[in-house]
């Protein structure tokens, strides 16, 4: 089975040594917990926004057999929030990617993100529902917050306070792993 992890630096493994990033740790975890071989393809681009992801979706699908992975983990939006991009733009981009994948009958796990608290409650009120609303619209499973259990914990983040350490990634993988298995029907 092939999973395409399509996202930003959180998917790409920014600041981590080989083997410590999300896709590598997830692949190991899945292969320890599933009875089939699973490959996780890293299609993360550090600094990518939802607009960038939307623009490169075709390219991201290209390395997968017939352009149709068994699952896409869609993890974008963090940089939109960090840059204060209008959440309506983010919503449009996430929806467009979900629509493209749904049209191709490619299963998707939406990895949600939360607005940075410094942008205030009005921004969060529009940004935070993007991910659950998109998952509901297309009938895709949702992992509500990709950084659950790691965000704001200095001991689990690199010195920039935004990117998880290898230990932080391990926590993410342990939390999202069962959801990925369920999305694969395993």
From residue 53, how far is each of 35, 43, 60, 80, 85 by CA, in Å? 32, 10, 9, 11, 14
From the candidates 48, 50, 70, 163, give the one annotated as an active-site residue: 163
Residue with token string 């080989």: 18
Burial class (CB in 10 A: 0-12, 13-18, 19+), 150: buried
For residue 86, give the DSSP letter.
-
The reply to whether 153 belongs to the active site is no
Of the candidates 66, 105, 159, 160, the residue annotated as catalytic is: 160
CA 44, CA 111: separation in Å to the nearest integer? 13
Instruction: Spot the catalytic one: 8, 9, 50, 80.
Output: 9
Integer angstrom CA distances of residue 163 from 8, 14, 56, 120, 154: 11, 7, 23, 21, 10
88 assigned to active site = no
Report the C-alpha gap between 141 and 138 in whole angstroms: 9
> Tokens 């992801």 label which residue?
53
Q: Which residues of 67-79 are buried (b: 16+ CB within 10 A; e: fewer)?
A: eebbbbbbbbbbb
**Which are the catalytic amino acids?**
9, 160, 163
């Amino acid at each position: 089975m092939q999973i395409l992890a399509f996202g930003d630096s959180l998917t790409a493994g920014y600041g981590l040594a080989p083997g410590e990033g999300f896709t590598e740790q997830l692949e190991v975890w899945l292969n320890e917990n599933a009875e089939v071989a699973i490959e996780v393809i890293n299609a993360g681009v550090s600094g990518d926004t939802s607009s960038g992801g939307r623009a490169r979706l075709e390219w991201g699908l290209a390395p997968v057999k017939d352009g149709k992975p068994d699952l896409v983990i869609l993890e974008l939006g963090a940089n939109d929030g960090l840059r204060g991009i209008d959440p309506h733009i983010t919503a449009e981009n996430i929806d467009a990617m979900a629509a493209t994948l749904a049209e191709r009958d490619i299963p998707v796990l939406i990895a949600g993100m939360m607005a940075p608290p410094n942008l205030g409650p009005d921004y969060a009120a529009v940004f935070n529902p993007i991910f659950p609303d998109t998952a509901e619209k297309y009938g895709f499973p949702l992992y509500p917050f990709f950084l659950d259990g790691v965000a704001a914990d200095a001991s689990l983040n690199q010195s920039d306070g935004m990117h998880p350490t290898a230990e932080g990634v391990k926590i993410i993988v342990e939390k999202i792993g069962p959801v990925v298995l369920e999305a694969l029907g395993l």
